[in-house]
Structures are given as C-alpha cells and as structure tokens.
Chain A
Amino acid sequence: MGSNTVLVNVVTLRTALVLLVLLWAPVNRTVFAQTELAGSWAARNTEDISRDSYPVDYLGLPLNDEGRTRALSYNESQLAMIERQCEGWPAFYFVQGPFGLKIWSDTEPVKGTAISFTIGAWEDRAPMTIWMDGRPHPSKYAEHTRGGFTTGRWEGDTLVTYTTHMKAGFLRKNGPPSSDEATMTSRFWRHGDILTVLAVVEDPIYLAEPHIITKSFQLTAAPMSPVGPPCVSGFEGRRPGESVPHYVPEKNPFVDELTKLFHLPRAAVVGEPETLYPEYRKKIKATYVRPETCTRDCGATPPR
C-alpha cells in the first residue's frame, strides 16, 4: 500500500468520524440537556405558611400512629438543652423552612460537567451536596448525618435528587418525627425565574404514606450567603444531666389549641392521613363553624 493510499484512508476515516460526531452531538445535547440552577433563589413564603407556629400543628401530615405518638411527646424545651441547641434539622428543611436557596455547582475541570451541586447551609440546616458524578449511596450501615447523602441526575431539564442517610430528626420544627430510614426524592423544575421544588418524603417508621412538599422560589439578584451564621450554644435553663423535656402523649396540653383557636377537628390537627383528601372536607362540613374574625397573626401589614 502506497503512502498516498494511507493518507487518503486517514483523511476519509477522519471525515467519516467527524460526520458521525456531528450527527451524534445534537442527540447527545438532548440526552444531557439541563438548566442553570446556580444562583440565589428567594423564598417568597406565600405558601405553607402555618408550618410550626403552634406546638401541636400537624395539619397536612400523613402520620401513622407511632409518628403521632412521638410527635405528641415532643416538648420544644428540648431545644434549651445544650447538647441539642445546635442539632439542626434534617434535609427536608431546605424546602420546608422559610429560607431561600443558595445553589452552586462544582465542575470537572476538563469536560466542564457538574460533579456536584450544593445547596448552602443556614444556621440550623446543614449544606446539601448533591453528587452528580454517578457515585453510589453508601452502605445502609454507614454514618448518618443531619444533611444526609444525596445523589442527583438530570431527566431532561429536571434535576432529580435522592437523599438517604439522614439522622433521625423531625419533619417540622414542632415535633413530627422522621426516622433514620427516611428518604427524600426531590425534583427541581426551573420555569424562567421561578424554581419549583418537589420533595417526596418516605418513612416506613413514622409515615402512613409519602409526605409531599412543594415550594417555589424566585431568582434574585441579591446574593445569598452560602453559609449561615454559626450556631453557638449556651446555657438556656437546662443543666446537663437533667431529664429530657417531654409530654406524656395523651396529656399534651397543646393538642386542642388549634381546635379552640380555629375550630379545626382534632383528627386534622394531629395528622390523620384521611384528612389530606377532599372526602374529609365533606365529612366535616356539617360540624365546622368558621371562627368569626381573625385577631392575631392575620398577615403582614400592607405598605401604605
């Protein structure tokens, strides 16, 4: 074979490969299509605003009996114990809490692909690192942390994440529990300057069905801090060695507070799963009496 023939073959091969790469590229872009999530996303807090204002407010939670009993035993004075002051809240809190999201990515230096996304911390919330590099979740016996272990993948323009290895904690700040077997599957949908996050929490120990949280954030030019202020513990009235503040579940003094204030049925207040569905609304129609006028915590005073 002459040198010219070899040269022609090399050129032909190179041309063919270039054509095939060009053909493959648009398909590849579709498969790996993604959207920019990095930035500061402000919480507008126009939804799910009742959250944890009252000691016993489990409205909208599908607790099972064990979860309800644990929740009713919770006393918020536990947070005065020096060893619990900086405990923080599990990963659910990034979507359940009142804060915005500061998101950034770490990229692989050659290909530029995202190795991970991180949702910044707050004072009582650990940062959430979302591993995008295909690494597996650790063994179920591996260390559990407050923030858990999260992996992510793109499904089109949607970021889908899966969180495991969270320490036992709370679904809300007023005591509904989460176990160390809880997992969370989240989806991040970006629509222009609105980011909607869906979190589906499954917990075989304390939930009767998956708990679904959706919350929307709005892109802001005002930069958010990637870290929260440091938590500094101090004496708040509970001395080391004293008992853990709690209630006997059947004697929780706040169990009827929302019933008295807002005339809400106890089954809803304590998170019975049937109360999440429209049928329950029909069930209570005949007995519910609307409270006459709001007298406190009615809404922010509008600007004049």
Chain B
Amino acid sequence: MSAHRLLIVALAAVASLSTPARVHAQNRGAPPPAPTAKASASIDLTGNWVAVVNEDWRYRMVTPAKGDYKGVPITSEALKIVNAWDPAADEAAGNQCKSYGAAAIMRVPGRIRVTWQDDNTLGLETDAGMQTRLFRFTPVPAPAGQPTWQGHSAARWERGGRGNPATGSSVGSLTVVTTDMRAGYLRKNGVPYSENAKVTEYFDLAPLPNDGQLLVVTTAVNDPQYLTQTFIVSSHFKKEADGSKWDPTPCSSTW
C-alpha cells in the first residue's frame, strides 16, 4: 500500500469514528438519549440461581444458639440486643422477616431469580422469605413513609474492559447501594443492624466447569450504631437452567 493510500485509509477511519455523533446532533438538534440500563448492561445477571453454602454453614443453614455472634464485629449496644433475642416475640410482633432484610438476604440459603422489571429496574426475588429487591438505575428518591426490609437500592454498572470469548467470561459488575431499611438481623439469631445501616454490594460473574456460571455477591454493611467496622461477606450462587426448583417459603423467626 502506498503512503498516500495508507494516509487516506487512516483519515477515513478517523472520520468514521468521529462523524456519526456530529451528524446525529445536526440532524436532530439534541444529543441522543442515554441507553437504558438494560441496553447498557455490562453483564447479564438475569436467570435462576441457587445458593451454595460452602461457608458459614453453621450460621446459615441452621439457626445458631442465642448469643453466638462469632465473626460479626458488634458494638456493646448490639450485644444487648443479641442477648435479648426472642424469636417468639419477633414472630408475634409480625417481625419474622427481620433476618431477610437487604443486609442479610443474600446470605440466606435459597434461590434467587433476577429479571428486568422495566428498562431501568432490575428485580431480584428470593424464594426463601419471598422477598423482592428492586435495583434502580435511574435516580428515584426513596418513597416517603416507613422504611422496608429491602430498603431503597440505587444501582449502577461498572465497566471492566472486555471478557474472554474463549472462556465465555464477561467482565464488569453491578454495584448496588441500599439504604432506608427497617432494622433487621444480620444472622437469624438476632445479631442486629440498625435502620441507619448502609449496604453496598458488588455482583460479579465467573464461569464454572462444564459450562456452569457462578454469581458472587460481595456485601459490605456499614452501621455505626451496631458495628465497630465494616461487616463484609461474599456469597455465591450457581446458575440453574430454569425455575423448576423455585420453592417460595415465608419468613420465619425460628427457622
């Protein structure tokens, strides 16, 4: 290729990258609308997932003894609540979902189902406790009134470059920040978080052998009232082919 021909090719390439946006702006007089969260998703979290409890089995698969808060950096104020835990009283007061709130729900053994509620809202349902979380990608103020178990979640995609087509892996992640929650329990046996707690979560995907896929959720809970430092856990879920094992089960204070 001659030098002039190469220059023409280079200039054409530059023009092809820079022209469309200008032309678009000239034609319509306004910048193009921002793509929806659904259209701009860096990873695909939708589908059915099952929790695999390789970690903290004794604190997740069964209800541990009253007063057992090992691994949770609680304050002395929280310790009073831990020692006063009364599951029957919670049940009677209609607070049986206290251990299914946003700060704890990803640690509850069960299945989750992720679907788009609309172009800018990703929904995450749990069969254990029958909870629904809504991850909103557009700024929406928290609704007035009482806080809820799942609180108000603001979501955003994080870009992470390109994946590896050879392994089928994708990169990028979802960050979700949740506030405005009802006070609840980090563990079934009454280890508390307050309504001022803030939960930051990161959702990442990884391939598994035999074409499997794993969802890893890192949960960081900050609560100056009941925690002396950030409480961080990472939970993982295997993708399932369908929802045939979905088994909705109501909240329980005792199990």
Binding site for B on A (CB under 8 A): 9-10, 12-13, 15-17, 19-20, 23, 30-34, 44-50, 59-62, 153-158, 160, 187, 189, 191, 194, 196, 198, 200, 202, 210-216, 218, 258, 262-264, 268, 275-282, 284-285, 288, 290-294, 297-300, 302-304
Q: Quick check: A262 and B58 within 8 Å, CB to CB? A: yes
Q: Does B130 contact A (CB under 8 A)?
A: no
Q: How far is the CB of A156 from chain B (nearest CB, A)?
A: 3
CB neighbours (8 Å) of B50 from chain A are 277-278
CB neighbours (8 Å) of B158 from chain A are 191
Residue of A nearest to B11 (CB): A19
Q: Quick check: B62 and A155 within 8 Å, CB to CB? A: no
Known A13-B7, A60-B53, A275-B61; further 17 A-B contacts with Cβ < 8 A: A9-B3, A16-B3, A16-B10, A23-B10, A23-B13, A46-B71, A47-B71, A61-B54, A155-B169, A158-B204, A194-B218, A276-B53, A290-B65, A290-B254, A292-B65, A293-B66, A303-B75
Q: How far is the CB of B96 from chain A (nearest CB, A)?
A: 15
> Which 7 pairs across A and B sit closest by C-beta, in order of nearness?
A156-B161, A156-B171, A33-B161, A49-B71, A156-B160, A294-B68, A59-B57
Q: Quick check: A189 and B204 within 8 Å, CB to CB? A: yes
Residue of B nearest to A299 (CB): B69
Chain B residue total in the interface (Cβ 8 A): 78
Residue of B nearest to A187 (CB): B206
A46 touching B62 in the complex, CB below 8 Å, given contacts A15-B7, A191-B202: no
Assembly CA distance A282 to B155 (angstroms) = 33
Q: Quick check: B6 and A285 within 8 Å, CB to CB? A: no
Assembly CA distance A196 to B171 (angstroms) = 14
8 residue pairs A–B, Cβ–Cβ below 8 Å: A46-B232, A156-B159, A158-B160, A189-B173, A189-B204, A198-B236, A294-B67, A299-B69
Query: Looking at A9, A13, A16, A304, which has the most chain B CB atoms within 10 Å of its CB?
Result: A16
CB neighbours (8 Å) of B159 from chain A are 156
CB neighbours (8 Å) of A155 from chain B are 161-164, 167, 169, 171
CB neighbours (8 Å) of A23 from chain B are 10, 13-14, 17
Q: Does B51 contact A (CB under 8 A)?
A: yes
CB neighbours (8 Å) of B162 from chain A are 30-31, 33, 155-156
Which of B187-238 touch A at CB < 8 Å?
202, 204, 206, 208-209, 214, 216, 218, 220, 228-236
Q: Does B73 contact A (CB under 8 A)?
A: yes
Q: How far is the CB of A46 from chain B (nearest CB, A)?
A: 5
A298 touching B70 in the complex, CB below 8 Å, given contacts A13-B6, A156-B172: yes
Assembly CA distance A157 to B50 (angstroms) = 26
Q: Quick check: A191 and B173 within 8 Å, CB to CB? A: yes
Q: Quick check: A303 and B228 within 8 Å, CB to CB? A: yes
Q: How far is the CB of A210 from chain B (nearest CB, A)?
A: 6
CB neighbours (8 Å) of B64 from chain A are 262, 290-291, 294
The A/B interface has a contact count, at CB < 8 Å, of: 236
Partner of B57, one of A50, A154, A157, A263: A50
Q: Quick check: B3 and A12 within 8 Å, CB to CB? A: yes
CB neighbours (8 Å) of B7 from chain A are 12-13, 15-16, 19
Assembly CA distance A44 to B222 (angstroms) = 13
Residue of A nearest to B82 (CB): A299
Q: Does B72 contact A (CB under 8 A)?
A: yes
CB neighbours (8 Å) of A293 from chain B are 65-67
Q: Does B56 contact A (CB under 8 A)?
A: yes
Residue of B nearest to A288 (CB): B62
A47 touching B202 in the complex, CB below 8 Å, given contacts A202-B209, A264-B58: no
Residue of A nearest to B163 (CB): A155
Partner of B71, one of A16, A17, A288, A299: A299
A216 touching B234 in the complex, CB below 8 Å, given contacts A31-B161, A262-B58, A278-B50: yes
Residue of A nearest to B79 (CB): A302
Partner of B62, one of A17, A187, A212, A264: A264
Assembly CA distance A299 to B10 (angstroms) = 65
Assembly CA distance A191 to B236 (angstroms) = 17
Residue of A nearest to B4 (CB): A12
Q: Quick check: A49 and B78 within 8 Å, CB to CB? A: no
Q: Quick check: B4 and A48 within 8 Å, CB to CB? A: no
CB neighbours (8 Å) of B142 from chain A are none
Partner of A218, one of B59, B160, B230, B236: B230
Assembly CA distance A276 to B204 (angstroms) = 21
One digit per residue, 1 when the CB lies within 8 angstroms of any chain A CB and 0 when it does not, for chain B 113-133 equals: 000000000000000100000
Which of B21-70 touch A at CB < 8 Å?
50-59, 61-70
CB neighbours (8 Å) of A49 from chain B are 56, 70-71
Q: How far is the CB of A109 from chain B (nearest CB, A)?
A: 25
Residue of A nearest to B235 (CB): A214
Q: Quick check: B71 and A45 within 8 Å, CB to CB? A: yes
Assembly CA distance A12 to B245 (angstroms) = 66
Q: How far is the CB of B201 from chain A (nearest CB, A)?
A: 9
Assembly CA distance A19 to B58 (angstroms) = 61
